[in-house]
Amino acid sequence: MQRILLASLALVLGLSAAPAQADNDSLHRDYAAFQAANPGSRRALGQAEVAHLFRLTKDHPVASLSDENIAKYDPTGEIGYCYGRSMAAHLAARRMGLTELSVRKLFILGDLRSGVDPEWRFHVTTLVRSVNAGGLEEWTAVDPIFAAPMTARTWLGAVRAIWDREGKSRAYLTSADAVLPDVRRFPAPEAETGDSIIELSFTPEGAEGFTRSPGYGERAYRLGAIAEEIHFLRASTEGAIDAFDFTRMVVGGPWEYDYHGYFVDLLADLLGRPASDFVPPAATETETETETEPVTETASVTETVIAPLGLRSVPGSR
């Protein structure tokens, strides 16, 4: 997630308009080329494959939550890059052969905080269709702030148990192409209109394009194509109004946050890796069930991370 503090709002970080646009255009072309080169033919991953995907994401040279990466890509601790890790899991899953329809994103939005003070405004994970130990298909969350992959419902419950102290968050199921909520429309709490999904006063109940999805938990909704286009920034829509910017984040209009080459490096790695990297190593007799089990009924946050979700809240927000 990203952290937006009042002190940081006084700073304008980022690239100048012309070179940023040039870089962004080339990254959109790289992303489109990746999608064309990896159409996928598989409907679901096995358990060992999900475990391998989790490790690829957790240990990724760009997306991992190492001290080096945080210092390089998020030196002020305001961006969080949950959506960068989610993109890494999405694209790695595609290189493992999954079709685009077998990958989704699950967002949670609201006043997310682990303590008294406002912290985060959203978090996201990639979901992949998988086959569980009983041979049944299910959606599994790949989110390396936790210790292991888990079912989508378990993931949502875990995030809410840790960060949703008031029990008011809402979850949104989107296509894999959605990267983050449209934070370009991020008014101060006193100026909210309830029109933007990032606003705490936004209500999906009765809104066009939002359908309840109780299978994922309480207050969970699936977005239709038009609702997703309105409320989320997407990676494959170069030149469109809802196009994700790979080079910088614009928040609430005038404030910009430089990605410091994060998505440049992420795409270069995932496009350039040999296919063998995306094949799980052969299981051995000493491999334990825990090492390959993608489904957990309990969840714990990794010891090194308690913060990097998706967008730091403005102090004083509800």
- pLDDT digits 0-9 by tens, 280-309: 987 544 344 444 444 555 555 543 333 445
Confidence of residue 248 (pLDDT cuts 50, 70, 90): very high
Look at 75-79, 267-271, 296-300 and tell me which has the smallest mean pLDDT: 296-300
* Percent of the chain's residues with pLDDT above 70: 81
Q: Is residue 151 part of a domain?
A: yes
Lookup: tokens for 22: 């040039």
Number of structural domains (the chain) is: 1
For residues 40-54, give the mean pLDDT. Answer: 97
pLDDT surpassing 70 at residue 178: yes
| 288 vs 43 pLDDT, higher one | 43
Q: Is residue 241 part of a domain?
A: yes
| 159 vs 310 pLDDT, higher one | 159
For residues 44-65, give the mean pLDDT. Answer: 97
| 285 vs 310 pLDDT, higher one | 310
pLDDT at 267: 95
Distance of CA 23 to the CA centre of its chain: 22
Q: Is residue 297 part of a domain?
A: no
pLDDT at 166: 86
**Nearby residues of 134 by Cβ (< 8 Å), 6 or more positions away:** none
First to last CA, the chain: 17
Q: Helix 82-95 to helix 262-272 angle, to the nearest 10 degrees?
A: 10
186 touches 251 (CB < 8 A): yes
Q: Is residue 315 part of a domain?
A: no
Mean of all residue pLDDT scores within the chain: 84
Q: Is residue 313 part of a domain?
A: no
**How many degrees, rounded to 5, is the angle at CA 287 between CA 283 and CA 289?**
105
For residues 84-99, give the mean pLDDT. Answer: 98
Q: Is residue 162 part of a domain?
A: yes
Lookup: tokens for 97: 């052969």
Lookup: tokens for 149: 């992959």
pLDDT at 21: 53
pLDDT at 239: 80
What is the Cα–Cα distance from 118 to 186, expressed in whole angstroms? 15
Q: Is residue 307 part of a domain?
A: no
pLDDT surpassing 50 at residue 3: no
pLDDT at 13: 27
For residues 26-35, give the mean pLDDT. Answer: 93
What is the Cα–Cα distance from 203 to 207, expressed in whole angstroms? 8
Task: Please tell me whether residue 90 adopts helix, strand or coil conformation.
Answer: helix
pLDDT at 297: 54
For residues 135-158, give the mean pLDDT. Answer: 97
For 95, which DSSP code? H
Backbone angles phi, psi at 45, to 5 degrees: -105, 150
> For residue 188, what are the domain limits?
6-292
115 touches 127 (CB < 8 A): no
Q: Is residue 318 part of a domain?
A: no
pLDDT at 92: 98
